[in-house]
Amino acid sequence: MLKLFHPLVQKWFVEKLGEPTDIQIKAWPHIAHGKNVLLVAPTGSGKTLTAFLWALQKLITKEWETGRVRVLYVSPLKALNNDVRRNLLQPLQELQPYFTATGQEFPALSVLTRSGDTPQHDRRKMLRRPPEILITTPESLNLILSSKNSRTMLAGVKTVILDEIHAVLGNKRGTHLITAVDRLVPLAGEFQRIALS
């Protein structure tokens, strides 16, 4: 399955992580073909990296223009969002030398979180220079979509990753999340949906 990826992404993966997990082997062909997927696997099985790696490659290789939100990650757990941000920055930092050592440009990708705790000056900065990857909660996503100024930063979204989907289905937060994803379509056009449970 690693053959789907850029040779330097493959090399990084093998050297840093070894072999792909079962969920990665099963999911990556579908994700690479732009299909909407639901990944159900235990904690520690590599679900989050499975969901993100194809999009990271699109950003790193500039198949997707940078300077706009291309990947939207939504989780009901603020603490998880901070962990996901840290866990995304690590592979980006590790991948950069693989590209620069071969003379290939590596874009400066921004990964930011937005929640009710995000200071106003950080929100304004985010509008001026949107991150390529935005990590948020269902409630904050609805607030972003309700603000004329804020929602424009989501117009370029290509992939939406919905984590801990089982925690919100069948309750008010789940309804807000589904509504927000539906509201995003007229703004961004169709995009890939990857749900994790």
Where residue 184 falls among pLDDT bands split at 50, 70, 90?
A: very high
Mean pLDDT within 162-186:
90
- Quote the mean pLDDT of the chain: 94
Q: What is the pLDDT of residue 118?
A: 86
Backbone angles phi, psi at 134, to 5 degrees: -110, 130
Q: What is the pLDDT of residue 168?
A: 85
pTM for this entry? 0.94
Mean pLDDT within 11-32:
97
Question: Residue 181 is encoded by which pair of tokens?
Answer: 């994803």
Residue 192, CB half-sphere, CA atoms under 13 Å: how many? 20
Has residue 116 got a pLDDT over 90? no
Under 8 Å between Cβ of 29 and 185: no
Where residue 151 falls among pLDDT bands split at 50, 70, 90?
A: very high
- The region of weakest confidence among 30-34, 48-52, 172-176 is 172-176
Has residue 79 got a pLDDT over 80? no
Q: How far apart are CA 155 and CA 18, in angstroms?
A: 36
Mean pLDDT within 168-173:
86
* Domains along the sequence of the chain with CATH: 2-196 (3.40.50.300)
Q: How far apart are CA 119 and CA 89, in angstroms?
A: 21
Question: Residue 145 is encoded by which pair of tokens?
Answer: 């979509």
What are residue 192's DSSP bridge partners? 159
